[in-house]
Structure 1
Amino acid sequence: MSRVSASSLPSTPTTSTPLTTPDVSPFKPKPTPATTTVGGTDEFQTKMDTSAAPISALMPAYQLPAAELALDFISSALAARLAMFVLGQVLYFKDQIPYPMNQLAKVALRDAHKGVSNKTTKQRLKMLDAFAVLASQLHSTFDALTVAVANNQRTNGSSQQAHLVFALGSTLANGRARVIFALDGIGVSSTHDENTNRRPKQCDEQQRHRVPLARVDARNSAGMPSIPGRSLELDVDSDEPINLNDEDTSCWDVPPDSDSDEESDPELEDASDNEAPRSIQPTQHQAEQEAAFSTAERRLALVINNADLFYQALPATTTHVLLRAPRCFKHPEWAPQQRFQRTFDKVLDEAKEGVRVVCAAPARSASLSGSATPGMNQGRSATHAAHPIEVEDEEQHEMIWWLWNGRLTGFEELVASG
């Protein structure tokens, strides 16, 4: 048998092929494991032995592949957006949905226009509804978490990290898969703090006079098309990811009914003409923010694709969403699950499956503790601050697991629609 020399073989091009994100085609791409570098840093690190290291001493999420963002901190809006992106990838790659989430919404929209109604369409809508509700609630969730973490940092110097776990299984105890999503560097900007502190006190009294700006479809917040007849009214002021000036968002008052409303005031008309260009600023801000969010999603998709993450097909089951937060964390859609504390602490210690997002320039503690953070006590006296922390306060800052009140039910598309 003649041997072929290596020099006679065609050379393999060294240029990298463009990334095809998983939500472009309904067919799953073949995984291509490779080592990737994001932001000039090798993201794959040697697995560390954490069997003897407690959570408080070693953050186990550092074992996970990471997407590095050139940011000082991760805002609540970005954290919510990336969390929903990762959840969509987990549901798709683990066969809980037959198509990527964007395409699933388009199929449901097509069936709604055609009037198709069967078991499969109902399962689609159930999944889309749960996904949209979670997307609409995560922004306020991370806002509350940021406040809790900021309070923790003032008292015991805890890190600015957030951990979500997507637990797939009929129950929390019977987990078929548990995927970690870690965020390193959550925080708020000083501008956000100043705008919050300058909010007029009259706004609290005028909340009952608020004008609903629009009926927002929750699917639009997750990047999905709306489905006729199934819109969800959201609280625009609390869940809107765009941080506008306090003059634009603090108060939306209903003018009193009077005869003077019918008469036009020349001075007011001149003022409105002068302020017309201000309406362009929110649109520009929104476009810039959307571009930044899309860039972060692409970097995260690159890491997920190259690290061969989440490629473990599972039978259709329920997906539970858990959040690790201090006991002082408060949100109406999350309930503490202390009886599963050891279970999910172990999941975090082992870090078998998941992904993380880190900041190229980690947020300094002063960004949270040095400036006024919403919800924090600013009137604490020096004598009170000098006193040791009471036991009740220490318990309030203990990190525990919280379970989202909703759930996402996976399904298999056995009936061809249309």
Structure 2
Amino acid sequence: MRVLALSDCKLERHVPPREIEDIYTNRQPAPMPPPPTKIPFITLDADLVTDSMAARLCISLVGHVLFLKSQVPFPVIQMARMPGGDTTSRTAKKRQELLNSFDTLASHLNTTFTALSTAFAHHSGTEDARSSGRAYLAVVLGPTPGSAKCRVMVGVDALEAKVWGKRDDRLSVCEGAGAEDDEQSDSGDESDSDNDSDGEADTNESGNSDSSGDEEAAWETETEESSQAPSPPLSRTPSPSSSSSPPPPPHILPPTYAQELEALRTAERLLSRTLASACGENDGQGMASEMAPTLTHIVLRAPRKFMHPAWVPRQTLSGAFDALLDQFLEESGERPERDDIKKKKKGGKVEGVWICSRQRLTEDSEIISGEEISEEDEMIWWTWDGKLVGFADW
């Protein structure tokens, strides 16, 4: 009988399935990285985006868009620093008109986001109903906002909702407590001086008294002390009935002008680096494109109760810009794409950037709460009453 050797047969190694192998080897599959978005994000080192920060970054982005879309031959900041030269030429007049309109827009945006922050704070007729909100601003290049050749959307996440001119309660309480301490110290000094003067007068009167009266008073005091029993020592433990005063609120120091200016410059540099990185990653293009000089319009999404003399409500733009906003949210990953619903996207591809803080908002508060939106809180689109006219000659 022939005995089979191990060398005579070929043993095949059994390879377990991937799931069983992961269970027995305690290996977990690596998490899938989030899909890259077409819209770049910049995250500020702050809990909320203030109105001054939002205005500064938006006007900076408008300057970048004008240069990247070939509406100006040089960056706007560089053009403002160039010597004037011949101011009577046609090119010099166009340059000066654009710089004047750009300065006017920068001034209007400062008060625009302040008014928008106040409108968010007065949400549903109640002050400070929510601490932040989302703001959307579109830079539209074309003859009219409705017939635009290019649209760049800017999303400001967690814009601080604050009533303009309202003082912080914590700052006022701390300042009031400091004033009370000063008054108490002044009154204490006055009482000490009065006690000192009274003590000197009593000393002079006692010095003129007879020595016999002092001896009699001392003898009476000794007899009274001997007749009375010694009293127990007082307890040093405070009684439970005495309630301790609540600790004072933390003193919050507002940032100085130098600190605020440095934060604005840091945010501007971060925006410039983000746009430059986006241009390098997207086949060297990004927002850069060759376009003929045209008009540049600014469109803002704000509630109906928003009040500003430089902005005009445009109800007719709601359809086109709502579709643009939906596309912007989908391509930035803020809203999942709906494949079952075929939507007609207007205006071609969407471009833009997100300005975020450490506190992120997933959706607008109206969508999260599910409450019925009042007519004053309904979001509509507004257009700036000015315009920027591009030029290519130099």
TM-score where L is the length of structure 1 = 0.54
Corresponding residue for 1:409?
389
Secondary structure of 1:178's match?
strand
Cα offset, 1:146, TM superposition:
0.7
Corresponding residue for 1:326?
303
1:328-407 equivalences in 2 (<5 Å): 328-351=305-328, 352-362=350-360, 394-407=374-387
Provide the aligned length of Structure 1 versus Structure 2. Answer: 249
Shift in alpha-carbon separation, 1:196–1:164, aligned structure 2, 3 A: farther
Corresponding residue for 2:276?
305
Moved more, 119-128 or 296-305: 296-305
Deviations 1:295-316 (A, max 9, x none): 1111111111111231112100
Report the Cα distance in structure 1 between the residues aligned to 2:76 and 2:34, rounded to whole angstroms: 28
On the 8 A contact 1:70/1:360 being kept in 2, the answer is yes
Secondary structure of 1:395's match?
coil
Cα offset, 1:106, TM superposition:
1.7
Cα offset, 1:116, TM superposition:
3.7
Shift in alpha-carbon separation, 1:363–1:310, aligned structure 2, 3 A: closer
Secondary structure of 2:139's match?
strand
Deviations 1:220-242 (A, max 9, x none): xxxxxxxxxxxxxxxxxxxxxxx
Cα offset, 1:192, TM superposition:
6.7
Report the Cα distance in structure 1 between the residues aligned to 2:169 and 2:132, rounded to whole angstroms: 23
Cα offset, 1:176, TM superposition:
0.6
Report the Cα distance in structure 2 between the residues aligned to 1:285 and 1:325, rounded to whole angstroms: 30
Report the Cα distance in structure 2 between the residues aligned to 1:148 and 1:191, rounded to whole angstroms: 10
On the 8 A contact 1:153/1:159 being kept in 2, the answer is no
Corresponding residue for 2:66?
91
Shift in alpha-carbon separation, 1:314–1:158, aligned structure 2, 3 A: farther
On the 8 A contact 1:72/1:363 being kept in 2, the answer is no
- Identical-pair percentage: 34
1:162-201 equivalences in 2 (<5 Å): 162-188=135-161, 193-194=166-167
Which ranges of structure 1 fall in alignment gaps of 5 or more residues?
1-42, 48-62, 200-244, 246-280, 369-388
Cα offset, 1:173, TM superposition:
1.8
Secondary structure of 2:256's match?
helix
Report the Cα distance in structure 2 between the residues aligned to 1:406 and 1:191, rounded to whole angstroms: 24
Deviations 1:322-346 (A, max 9, x none): 0000111111100101101010111
Cα offset, 1:86, TM superposition:
0.4
Task: State which of 113, 127, 139 in structure 2 corresponds to 1:142.
Answer: 113
Report the Cα distance in structure 1 between the residues aligned to 2:303 and 2:111, rounded to whole angstroms: 16
Shift in alpha-carbon separation, 1:89–1:176, aligned structure 2, 3 A: same
Report the Cα distance in structure 2 between the residues aligned to 1:406 and 1:190, rounded to whole angstroms: 26
**Greater Rg by CA:** 2
Shift in alpha-carbon separation, 1:119–1:172, aligned structure 2, 3 A: same
Shift in alpha-carbon separation, 1:153–1:302, aligned structure 2, 3 A: farther
Report the Cα distance in structure 2 between the residues aligned to 1:105 and 1:186, rounded to whole angstroms: 30
On the 8 A contact 1:321/1:404 being kept in 2, the answer is yes
Shift in alpha-carbon separation, 1:153–1:173, aligned structure 2, 3 A: same
TM-score where L is the length of structure 2 = 0.57
Report the Cα distance in structure 2 between the residues aligned to 1:288 and 1:188, rounded to whole angstroms: 21
Secondary structure of 1:165's match?
strand
Corresponding residue for 2:80?
105
Shift in alpha-carbon separation, 1:396–1:88, aligned structure 2, 3 A: same
On the 8 A contact 1:73/1:188 being kept in 2, the answer is no
Which ranges of structure 2 fall in alignment gaps of 5 or more residues?
1-32, 176-252, 280-285, 329-349, 366-370
Report the Cα distance in structure 2 between the residues aligned to 1:191 and 1:133, rounded to whole angstroms: 21
* Runs of 4 or more above 6 Å deviation: 153-159, 189-192, 196-199
Cα offset, 1:321, TM superposition:
0.1
Find out whether 1:70 has 2:68 as its counterpart: no
Corresponding residue for 1:228?
none
Shift in alpha-carbon separation, 1:191–1:166, aligned structure 2, 3 A: closer
Report the Cα distance in structure 2 between the residues aligned to 1:45 and 1:183, rounded to whole angstroms: 22
Report the Cα distance in structure 1 between the residues aligned to 2:260 and 2:81, rounded to whole angstroms: 24
Corresponding residue for 2:347?
none
On the 8 A contact 2:58/2:154 being kept in 1, the answer is yes
Report the Cα distance in structure 2 between the residues aligned to 1:67 and 1:81, rounded to whole angstroms: 14
Q: What is the RMSD computed on CA atoms of the aligned residues? A: 3.5
Deviations 1:46-84 (A, max 9, x none): 45xxxxxxxxxxxxxxx6210011101111111110000
On the 8 A contact 1:68/1:358 being kept in 2, the answer is yes
Secondary structure of 2:159's match?
coil
1:46-65 equivalences in 2 (<5 Å): 46=36, 64-65=39-40
